[in-house]
Amino acid sequence: MGECIFCRIVAGEVPADVVAETSRCLAFRDRNPKAPTHVLVVPVDHVAHAGELGAEHADLLAEMFATARSVAEGDGVAESGYRLVFNVGDDGGNTVAHLHLHVLGGRAMAWPPG
C-alpha cells in the first residue's frame, strides 16, 4: 500500500487537514472541495472501494457513518443537511482506490448529481 495516497495520509506521511479520528477511521478535508464542507472519511486499514464491502465491514461502516455525523455537527451543517457519497468505478467518478465517504454540506445539492 506504499503508493496509496490515503494510506500515506493515515500513516502521517502526507499532510492533511484532519477533523476527526477514531480507532478505525480518519476524517480530513478534501483538497479540492466541491462544497463549503467537503470532508473524506476513510478507514485506517486499506479497503479498495465500496464494491468490496461485506458483512465483515459492518462495524467499520457504522463508525464511518457516526464519524460523518460528528463532522457534520462540527461544521454546523447537521441541521441544514448534507450528502454522503461513495463513488465506485469510472462511471461513479472514483479516482482514489482507498475507500472514502464524502461528506458534503453548506450548500443545497442538485439531484440527480451531474
Q: Which residues in this chain contact Zn ion in the complex, by CB under 5 A?
A: 1, 4, 6-7, 46, 98
Quick one: cell of 84? 454522503
Does the active-site annotation cover 100?
yes
Report the candidate in 50, 52, 44, 2 with the shortest Cα–Cα distance to residue 23: 44
Taking the CB of residue 45, how many other CB atoms lie within 10 A of it? 14
81: left (phi over 0), alpha (psi -120 to 50) or beta: left
Q: What residues does 60 pair with on adjacent strands?
A: none
For ligand AMP, the closer CB: 50 or 55:
50
Q: Which of residues 24-63 bind ligand AMP (CB under 6 A)?
A: 30-32, 40
The enclosing H or E element of 20 equals strand 18-21
**Minimum CB distance to ligand AMP smaller for 55 or for 61:** 61
Q: Which of 36, 76, 81, 93 touches ligand AMP by CB under 6 A?
A: 93
70 counts as binding ligand AMP under rule CB under 6 A: no
Q: Which residues bind ligand AMP (CB under 6 A)?
A: 5, 14, 16, 30-32, 40, 87, 93-96, 100
Which residues are known to be catalytic? 100
